[in-house]
Each structure stands twice: as structure tokens, then as C-alpha cells.
Amino acid sequence: MKISHNDSKAIYMGRYDRSSGGTRLYFVGSQIKLKFRGTKLLLEHETTVYWGQVSLGVILDGKMSAIPLSPENNGKVITSIIAEGLENAEHEVIIYKRYSSNYFINVKAFETDGEFLVPEQLPTLKMEVFGDSVCAGEVCEAVDFTGKNDPENHNSIYDNVWHSFVMQTARNIGAQIHNNSQGGIALFDRTGYFHYPDTLGLESVYDKTCYFPEAGEVTKWDFERYTPDIVIIAVGQNDQHNPVTQENDRNISDPEYRRKWKDKYIEIVKDLESHYKTAKFVLTTTVLMHDPDWDNAVEEITSELNGMGIKTFHNMFSRNGAATPGHPRIPEHDEMARELTDFIRKNVL
């Protein structure tokens, strides 16, 4: 049995563009949920790899695996074996985008030797995230480097958004999630590391579907397609970096820059709130080491937004900005997920 990418038996989560030619996934953690009876599952797709050693993530009957992708197949429609040799029984699978902008996937069709069934619908509680590489789960699987700097030349082999603290938190509270996170991103364009040297910031990404020009025409997101109950924003880690000078000279302690940064942050939240109306906002950074004055600025933003009538909370982890000089690994993501889950349950839900 073969079904098209847009068949109702394929349930998507995350922002996507769709046409007769396929369903295009760009953001990290975007995924497809399927249920089938049979011994194998095939995915017909066109995937473009820009850099890194990357894979498609798969959760089949609760077990994780990965399907390697190669730039040699860029521009080609190929069929990947998601699973084979299974017991001829009912199976549930999630196919997800493990990484952010180092590749994108255009889903064409699904095939099994049995039949596709209707999967369980997504939860009604909805969460959305705008964050950086930590929210995207980058380098999290390098568990031998817990509490240490990142391994050299890791080339994305340790990236896996499934373990990210925000993805874990969504599963913990029973929510679907749009994880609109991107490694290296800061609030402003021409700041941070994403899309170097012409760096793009959250100000240019938060309202997009296709958000990096290598994947095609940049497209606007229709906010009516998804109305979250909880919006998590986690920026501030990369914002000190100036890609022009290659120095960390964006100084949040400078009163003029602080006001500029806070105003842009508030502007984005106000625009999101204008679409979502009843959403609650959770502002945070992570346990990755950084200047605590960024957190002080986030606390000021939280206060100002609440003064405008926008329900906003500031989450601070027990080891906020102090746990590790490198990306958090799975144990640290587990720690953050437990704490963020508790924070949301006590304060937000």
C-alpha cells in the first residue's frame, strides 16, 4: 500500500510548506507520525544536505534509530528503508528531522507491504519554541564530554533534537510542539553565528516557514495554522557575538544596547501575542555558561511584558548559565527538562 505525502493517515507536527510536489520540512524536530500493519516501511523523499554527517531520526515502536543521508543524493527523489523485517503486526513510527538548517527534506510518499492505519491524533495542548542550538539538541549525544567543551570536528554526528530539553518537556506535559530553533541564532540579524557571514537573527526567522535561503524561496508562516498555549523563547546565548568584528563585543550591560535588545525582544513577543491572544510566554536561557546579565535583562523584559498585560514567566534553572562550557549533553538536557517541566506545571498550566 502506498499513500501520498498529504494523505490524512500521515500526521505532521511542526511548520511545513506543502504543494503537489511534496511536504517540505525545514525546522528541527518537525516530524511525521504513521501507523501501519506490515513488515516494512519505505519513505519516498527528496533531501538536500548542505553540510554535516546527518540522518533522519526514527522512533519505531518506541525504539530510536537513524537513516543516514548523503549529499550525493541531493536533487534526487530516493526511497529510504525506514524499517524492514518486522513482525507482521501493527506498528507506530515517528520520522523526524534530527537537525536544523544543515538539510531539509521534501516528503513525497510512504509505502508498506501491508496497510496504513489511522494513528492517534496529536495532543490538544500545544507548545512552541524559539531557541538556539541547545533547544535544537546539538552535540547532546557527546556524553563523554559532559561538563566539558565540545569535541573537535564533531560535524553534527552528536546532534539529536529528540533529547533536547524542550522536546522532552513537551512529551512530559503531553503537548505537541513546534520547535522553531536554530543553532547559533541570536535576536538580531548581523549578530550571533547562524548563516555566517550574513547572519540571520530571530527577528528574521520567527515568522517564517522556509527560513534559510539555501532551501529555496523564504516563505512566511501563517500563524492561523497553529495556536500554541505555551511559547518558550530561549535566546541570549549567542547575542554577544559580533560576526563583523569576530569579537564578543555586543555588551548587554551597555544601557543603550540593553534597551535596544529588550525593545526588539518585546516587539517579537507582542507580535506573537497579537496572533495567539491567550498564549502564555516562558522566557529562559540554559545551563550553558554565559554572562548572567543577559538573564537580568530577560527578567526586566518579563516584568515589562507583564505590565503590558501579556502573561509572561521567567524560568531560571538551578545551574543556569553555570553548568558547562560546551553544549549540554543528554544528562544535562534531562536535568533541564525535569526543572522546566516542574516550572510549567507549577506556574503556567
Residues 262 and 312 in one domain: yes
Owning domain of residue 256: 125-347
Contacts of 321 (CB under 8 A, 6+ apart): 285, 286, 287, 288, 289, 290, 291, 292, 294, 295
Average pLDDT of the residues in 280-300: 98
| 176 neighbors 127 (Cβ within 8 angstroms) | yes
Look at residue 36 and tell me whether its pLDDT is greater than 90: yes
Phi, psi angles (nearest 5°) of residue 257: -70, -40
% of the chain beyond a pLDDT of 70 = 100
**Same domain, residue pair 146 and 86:** no
Asked whether the CA dihedral 117, 123, 128, 134 is positive or negative, the reply is: negative
Average pLDDT over residues 4-24: 96
Tell me the mean pLDDT in the region 189-211.
96
**For 219-243, what is the mean pLDDT?**
96
Average pLDDT, the chain: 97
Kindly state the average pLDDT of the residues 268-280: 97
Which pLDDT belongs to residue 245?
87
Q: Are residues 86 and 49 in the same domain?
A: yes
Task: Say if residues 51 and 74 touch (Cβ distance below 8 Å).
Answer: no
Q: How far apart are CA 211 and CA 221, in angstroms?
A: 9
| 20 and 109, same domain (yes or no) | yes
Burial call 317-339: b when 16+ CB within 10 Å, e when fewer = bebbbebbebbbbbebbebbbbb
Is residue 321 within 8 A of residue 149, CB to CB? The reply is no
Measure the CA–CA gap between 61 and 81, rounded to whole angstroms: 16
As beta bridge partners, residue 83 has 41
Looking only at the bridges linking them, the beta strands covering 63-68 and 31-38 are: unpaired
> Are 192 and 243 spatial neighbours (Cβ–Cβ below 8 Å)?
yes
Asked whether residue 249 carries a pLDDT value surpassing 90, the answer given is: no
16 pLDDT band (50/70/90 cuts)?
A: very high
Report, as an integer, the average pLDDT of 317-323: 97
Sequence-distant (6+) residues with CB within 8 A of 263 are none
Q: Are residues 54 and 157 in the same domain?
A: no
- Report CA 130 to chain centroid distance, whole Å: 7
* Same domain membership, residue 297 and residue 232: yes
Whether residues 193 and 271 share a domain: the answer is: yes
| 236-265 average pLDDT score | 94
* Band of residue 44 on the pLDDT scale cut at 50, 70, 90: very high
Residues 99 and 151 in one domain: no
Domain final residue pick, 117, 137, 171: 117
CA–CA gap between residue 338 and residue 300 (Å, rounded)? 25
Say what the pTM is. 0.96
Q: What is the CATH number of the domain that holds 238?
A: 3.40.50.1110
CATH number of the domain to which 112 belongs: 2.60.120.260
Q: Are residues 100 and 76 in the same domain?
A: yes
Render pLDDT for 102-112 as a digit per residue (tens, 0 to 9). 999 999 999 99
Phi, psi of 231 (to 5 degrees): -120, 120
Each residue's pLDDT tens digit, 48-97:
999 999 999 999 999 999 999 999 999 899 999 999 999 999 999 999 99
Verify that 210 and 288 share a domain, yes or no: yes
Position 227 pLDDT exceeds 90: yes
Across 178-191, average pLDDT? 97
Taking residues 140-161, what's their average pLDDT?
95
Any idea what DSSP says for residue 206?
Answer: T
For the chain, what is the domain count? 2
Query: Which grid cell is 244?
Result: 563583523
Residues 84 and 186 in one domain: no
Q: Which of 324, 341, 233 is nearest to 281 (CA)?
A: 233
- Which cell numbers in the block locate residue 321? 548559565
Rounded to whole angstroms, what are the CA distances from 11 to 59, 92, 95, 108, 292?
A: 14, 12, 11, 14, 41
Q: Residues with Cβ < 8 Å from 208, sequence gap 6 or more?
A: 218, 219, 220, 221
pLDDT of residue 192: 96
pLDDT surpassing 90 at residue 244: no
User: What is the C-alpha separation between 288 and 336, in angstroms, rounded?
Assistant: 11
Cα 267 to Cα 241: distance, rounded to the nearest angstrom? 21
Of 87, 117, 147, which one is at a domain's C-terminal end? 117
* 233 vs 174: CA distance, rounded Å: 19
Same domain, 136 and 45: no
Q: How far apart are CA 236 and CA 254, in angstroms?
A: 15
Across the range 290-304, mean pLDDT stands at 98
